[in-house]
Chains A and B, each alone.
Chain A
Amino acid sequence: MTETKKRYFTESELKEMGAESVKLIEKAIDAGDLEKAKKLAHRMYSEYLSTHNIFWDWLISTLGFIQEELGDEAVYRSMYRAFESLTALADAYRNQDAGQKAKLLAAGFRGHLTPVVVEEDDEKFTIMMTPCGSGGRAIASKGYETGKFAKIKKPQKMTFGKKDFPIYCAHCALQDIIPMETGGYPLWVMEDPGNVGVEPCKFYIYKNPDDIPVRFYERFGLKKPAPKSTKYNS
């Protein structure tokens, strides 16, 4: 109900429009209105997904611009620069035990607003987004088919040696490479399924970093460091 005919909303409606959904959920629970809490959780999901997708669309477009203006090498360098600044975060992650690392990576993936599968065997964790809420969502949107998004034509390190590789997916290679170059060991290693965007990429966290197979280093032209036997806590 509005106070004047020129107004669309009351003062209290305007105030509620500005409140963060997470706070309104708490308020609804305290008021015992659980159905409202549910609706607000969906509202919160929609708000986050909308911003997530706008950012990612913008990112892919910007990477395409860099490729067109400055070439593949610039795509590599610009992403290296962007992820290099996350070394403090990488160091904090490195100091966790493998179980905590798995929890953190799963939480990071859930931030892409998609279901995650976490598996554990004796030597490692395998974590997958099903479907991938990051690069996989861009592939599913058919942005690469319509030419809206760029692909990297030539096989190279950041394409895991593949040709016609979705430009956004190249950041996954950098997330492997930078920790290896700055700290010797990767935080996790990624195995692409061969048909990127169709099947999930697998992210492995080895409980003992010495057990990381040499192929995960060699694909980037790097050498596996000498064992340091840091079993169960890298």
Chain B
Amino acid sequence: MPDNKNRFFTKAELKQMGVETVELIQQAVDAGKQEETKKLASRMYREAFFLHESYRDWITSLLSYIYRNNGDRGVYEALHEAFKQLSPVMDTYRSVDVGRQAEMLAAGFRGHLTSVVVEEDDDKFTVMMPLCGSAGRSIANKGYENPTNFAKIKNPQKLTFGKRDFPVFCTHCAMEEIIAMEKNGYPVWVIDIPEKVGAGPCKYHIYKDPEKIPIKYYRRYGLKKPALKRNK
């Protein structure tokens, strides 16, 4: 209890309020406080979740604004500019073997605070978020309906995987493929989206040998499959 009636907290309580949760988890583990550690892990999850949803919705709102003012071209150019800047991430992927690529993609998806399914067959990895923590959660939360009304792209086009009424935030998935292909000729991963976006998981395939990436993943963007060196 604070000794001043005008105060809510003691000095120690104020200090504790400012410590990063990951640090408190370390302290709780070292002190052998198992239940406290669990509670703190949940707290860290909630803190990150709130920020994640706020950032995603803010981006979706800005993309909606661009779509309503600048149309399809605006969304394409805004995304192209943003993801071009992120292309070093693609370079990092290309610098490691495909097993590590799958681990990195799964870690990236876990950063959307959702569980992930990773499958492997002889040709490829398939990585999915059963409930997509990125745009899928926004669709599930009715972000594209009244009163929030995030934009949907009306006309089928590259960014919408040829679909109509496509959630604006989901267009970044197409841009991630496009940027990678523009830069290196072939994508780091390719995506299969369900018939109705948000109704089932999108599937991200990482081919162990890029030569085995089916031609359909290039054609949907009007691109030709390049002749690749064998780097199995």
A contact residues vs B (CB 8 Å cutoff): 4, 6-9, 14-15, 17-23, 25-26, 29, 34-35, 37-38, 41-48, 50-52, 54-59, 61-66, 69-70, 74, 77-79, 81-83, 85-86, 97-99, 102-103, 106-108, 110-120, 122, 148, 207
Contact = CB atoms under 8 A, between A and B. Distances in A.
Given A47-B107, A50-B111, A113 B20 contact: yes
B50 A108 contact: yes
Contacts of B66: 62, 65-66, 69, 78
Contacts of A120: 7-9, 14
A112 B51 contact: yes
A99 B8 contact: yes
Nearest to B55: A55
A18 B112 contact: no
Tell me whether chain A's interface is mostly helix, strand or loop, or mixed.
helix
Tell me whether chain B's interface is mostly helix, strand or loop, or mixed.
helix
Contacts of A207: 6
B55 A52 contact: yes
Contacts, number: 220
Contacts of B157: none
Contact of B118 (A18, A69, A74): A18
Contacts of B112: 51
B37 interface: yes
B21 A110 contact: yes
20 contacts: A18-B115, A18-B116, A18-B117, A29-B38, A34-B37, A41-B41, A46-B107, A50-B107, A57-B82, A57-B85, A58-B83, A61-B78, A62-B63, A62-B78, A77-B65, A113-B20, A117-B18, A118-B15, A120-B8, A122-B7
B62 A20 contact: no
Question: Which 8 A-B pairs have CB atoms at the shortest separation, nearest pair first?
Answer: A99-B8, A51-B111, A8-B99, A111-B51, A82-B61, A61-B82, A55-B55, A18-B116
A209 to B, nearest CB: 16
A7 B120 contact: yes
Interface stretch (B22-30, B158-166, B185-193): B22-30
Interface of B: 4, 6-9, 14-15, 17-22, 25-26, 29, 32, 34, 37-38, 41-48, 50-52, 54-59, 61-63, 65-66, 69-70, 74, 77-78, 81-83, 85-86, 89, 97-99, 102-103, 106-108, 110-120, 122, 147-148, 172, 208
Contacts of A35: 29
Nearest to B32: A34
A110 B86 CA distance: 25
A196 to B, nearest CB: 20
Given A8-B99, A78-B65, 14 more contacts: A15-B118, A20-B113, A35-B29, A41-B22, A42-B22, A44-B41, A52-B55, A54-B86, A61-B85, A66-B62, A111-B51, A118-B14, A120-B9, A122-B4
